Amino acid sequence: MIPLWWYLILSAAIFCIGLFGAITRKNSIGILISIELMLNAANINLLAFWRYLYAQQGDLRGQVFVIIIFVVAASEAAVGLAMIISAYRRKQTVIANEIDSMKG
């Protein structure tokens, strides 16, 4: 059987890769992909904790959290891509540095 910490280290590594991408990417869609990777890391963590610490008691809270994160990820992708396409239509760019009309 796989010990719990293997899952935790895997999800920490995916989270850090996603964090790296979210900070360094210039393309807005790349930033969105990185954020989705981080949400996936959180999901692995939640399901691993659910499986190892709560599943035997029939406790479903971990699964409920995972479903809510799925919904949040889907809405975030939809709204994010709508914003990117809207910004692209106006400024002909998806580079995050060049979308600066809200900069003070």
Map the footprint of another protein across residues 21-80, applying CB under 8 A: 21, 23-27, 29-30, 32-34, 36-37, 40, 43-44, 47-48, 50-53, 55-56, 58, 60, 63-64, 66-68, 70-79
CA-to-CA dists, residue 17 to 7, 21, 36, 78, 102, angstroms: 15, 6, 11, 22, 28
Binding to another protein by residue 99, rule CB under 8 A?
no
| Cα–Cα distance, 92 to 76 (Å, whole number) | 22
Binding positions for another protein, 4-23, rule CB under 8 A: 4-10, 12-21, 23
CB 45 within 8 A of CB 8: yes
Size of the site for another protein (CB under 8 A): 73
Q: Minimum CB separation from another protein for residue 82, in Å?
A: 4
| Cα–Cα distance, 6 to 55 (Å, whole number) | 18
Q: Minimum CB separation from another protein for residue 46, in Å?
A: 10
